[in-house]
Each structure stands twice: as structure tokens, then as C-alpha cells.
Amino acid sequence: MIYIHIPFCHRKCTYCAFYSKPLASTTEARLTAAAYVDALVDEMRRRRDEQAHPIHTIYIGGGTPSLLPLGQMARVVGALRKCFDLSQLEEATIECNPEDLTQEYLLGLKDIGLFNRLSIGLQSLDDEMLHLIGRRHTAQQAVEAVERAYSVGFHNISVDFMYGLPQMSQLPAFDFRLVNHVSAYALTVEEGTALAVQVRQGRVSLPSDDELVRQYYAMREHLAKAGFEQYEVSNYCRPGYHSRHNSRYWNRTPYLGLGAAAHSFDGSRRRWNVADVKQYIATQAFEEETLTDRDAYNELLMTALRTTAGLSLADVPERCRSDFRRKMQRYVDCGWIKLSTPHSPHYTLFQPTAEGLLHADGMAADLFEM
């Protein structure tokens, strides 16, 4: 699997802690994008042998990939086709912002031919809220972008919504019939963001923890009524439409991450490229670390306990099993974990309930091997 990071945005949303660089003008966007794509293509050529197997999923994320001019996107895709075996590709996703999805851009993406899945960042359908969190689109543009994408032939669409927004009182009044996947994230305040400053200065107030939990259940129920099943703490899909790419991350499948700030994993080592566009273009610097068995187990806990699939006893190293069983029993007793034994006691499954998913991070921390 391959992840490509396009680290540009029109401007920074107030809550965003992802690495992305706001581009001041169309000219700057054009010049920087061209130099960045040169570096990206170069990285693909140099690292092509790290993915000797056929690629099953590709994800182009950001930043705002839909800010990349179509000509540059075609170059990225052309290099992917040249450098990697895509004969077994199942899913190729591109993240888009609604304001970029003109008819012309969507038709251009169709012509490029690789993408069979769009992930569109709607976040809210309340104009006041969109403005407050620094999004550039309106609710109407969001709805029209999804309709337009569907009408040009993208029928595998995921949309992002947020809950826990300031003064949020209503669920998005959205017609979910055109989409088959929804990511619903709780707004979190990350240090170093404009939102963190606004909250500290009392200019923005966020819902209480109890209200956040109420909104989580309300969103879950709202999506269930529309035919979506939760499969991860923030992800819902119609049957068969889970994100294959993200599900592979959670299974700890090795992946190649290309571009500034992109991470890679080869099964035992993690590598992260420099989070700076200029430095990436000039040096393609990166750092890496080799995971210990303990790191690998702790990572497994952090990801598996956020999914409804959970984990099986067979996934837990022998040395941790008695501690794992003892602590898990408490979570079974309080209703956060449900147990099943589909094959044999050895394959006992520990699956978070809807309530357990809310406590995934705490449970994982409790189970960590120190």
C-alpha cells in the first residue's frame, strides 16, 4: 500500500495540526506544486524497490490534494504507474475539499483514471460553524460537491463530519444516499493550533465531556438509521465499503509513505520524512526507528481497540497473555468489551462495544507492556 502526502492548503483551518503549508497565491501554488511533484517523482523512483509486491491500495491525502493542478496530479499518477505494479489495485482514494470540486476538476480526475474513491471533507453543514473553524466552503457548496462528484461517475464517496463543535446543537441534515462511507471525528484541541489559542483566551467554548458523549451516540444512531455500521471509533460504512487502505493500517500492513511528513512502515521499522516542504524538495531528509517487540504490541493495542473487530488472544504475545486476560476481564465486566470464541478458546475475540470504543485509548494505555 502507498500513501502520498500533498502538504498544501488554501489556508489553515483553526483546529488543524496536520503538516500543511498554506499557499499565498495562485502563482506560488503553481511553482511550489511543480517543484514538489518533481521531488515526489524522484522519491518514487528511488524507493520503488521497497514495495516489491503488487499494490492493493493507494491513498493521496493532505493537506489538500485537490489543490494540486490536474497536470501535476497526472504526473504523480503517471509516476505511480511506472514505478509500481498496480495490477492488483483495489482502492485508490483521493482526499478533496468541496470548494475545489468543480465540474472541470472532477472530469479531469476521472480522465486521469486511477481514482475509484473520493474522500470529501465536509465537516459541518452549518455555515456559521464552517466559518468559525476556518473552512473555506459553505454548506451548499459541500452538498453540491458531493452531488457533482456522484454525477460525473464517482460512486464510492466518503465524507468527513465533525462533532463536538462549539455550540453544535444539530446533526448534519445531509442526504446520505450518495455516499457509502462516513468518517465522524470528535473535534480535539491540539496544541499549537489557532483553536487552542481561542479556547485558552475564552473566545471559543467547547462542549463538556458529557455533551461530547451524547453527540457521539446521536451521530452513531443517526448514521445507523441511514444504513451505516460503525467499524472504528470514527468510521462508519455501508456493508462492504470500509476503507481498505485504513483497515490495512490497523492490521499493521507495511506501507510506503511518500512526500513531506509522510510516514512509512516496513513491518519492523518506521520512517518519517521531514515535515518541511522546502527541505523535502532540497534534501528529502528522513528519520527512522526500529520498533521493539514491546512497541509493536503497544501499537497493536492502540489500533485494534479502536476497531469493532478488536483483537484475538492469538494476537497477544505469550508473555503478555495472563496480564491481558486479567485486565480485559474488568472491561468485559463493565460492558466495554464483548467476548466471543468463534473457533477455539485460543482465538477468543475481544471486541470493543460502542461504549468501549469511547475508552479505547484508556484501555490500551492500561494494557501497555512497560
With CB under 6 A, what is the number of residues at the site for ligand SF4? 11
Residue (121 or 164) nearer to ligand SF4, CB: 121
Please say whether the beta carbons of 286 and 272 come within 8 A. yes
Q: Which residues from 190-209 bind ligand SF4, rule CB under 6 A?
A: none
Q: Does residue 13 bind ligand SF4 (CB under 6 A)? A: yes
Q: From the CB of 11, what's the least distance to ligand SF4, in Å?
A: 7
Q: Does residue 20 bind ligand SF4 (CB under 6 A)? A: yes
Q: Which of 33, 62, 130, 298 binds ligand SF4 (CB under 6 A)?
A: 62
Q: Which of 32, 51, 57, 64 binds ligand SF4 (CB under 6 A)?
A: 64
Q: Does residue 18 bind ligand SF4 (CB under 6 A)? A: yes
Residue (13 or 311) nearer to ligand SF4, CB: 13
Residue (13 or 94) nearer to ligand SF4, CB: 13
Taking the C-alpha atoms of residue 180 and residue 183, their distance in angstroms, rounded to an integer, is: 10
Taking the C-alpha atoms of residue 150 and residue 10, their distance in angstroms, rounded to an integer, is: 24
The answer to whether the Cα torsion of 222, 228, 229, 231 is positive or negative is: negative
Burial class (CB in 10 A: 0-12, 13-18, 19+), 238: middle
The closest residue (CB) to ligand SF4 is: 16
Taking the C-alpha atoms of residue 276 and residue 297, their distance in angstroms, rounded to an integer, is: 31
Q: Which residues from 74-113 bind ligand SF4, rule CB under 6 A?
A: 97
**What does the CA dihedral 55, 115, 16, 131 come to, rounded to 10 degrees?**
-170
The interface region with ligand SF4, picked from 32-40, 60-68, 220-228, 359-367 by CB under 6 A, is: 60-68
What would the grid cell of residue 293 be? Answer: 517487540
User: E strand or H helix at 8, and its extent?
Assistant: strand 8-9
DSSP 115: -
Burial class (CB in 10 A: 0-12, 13-18, 19+), 151: exposed
The interface region with ligand SF4, picked from 6-14, 138-146, 147-155, 180-188 by CB under 6 A, is: 6-14
Residue (172 or 352) nearer to ligand SF4, CB: 172
Q: From the CB of 260, what's the least distance to ligand SF4, in Å?
A: 13
Q: What are the residues binding ligand SF4 (CB under 6 A)?
A: 9, 12-13, 16, 18, 20, 62-64, 97, 121
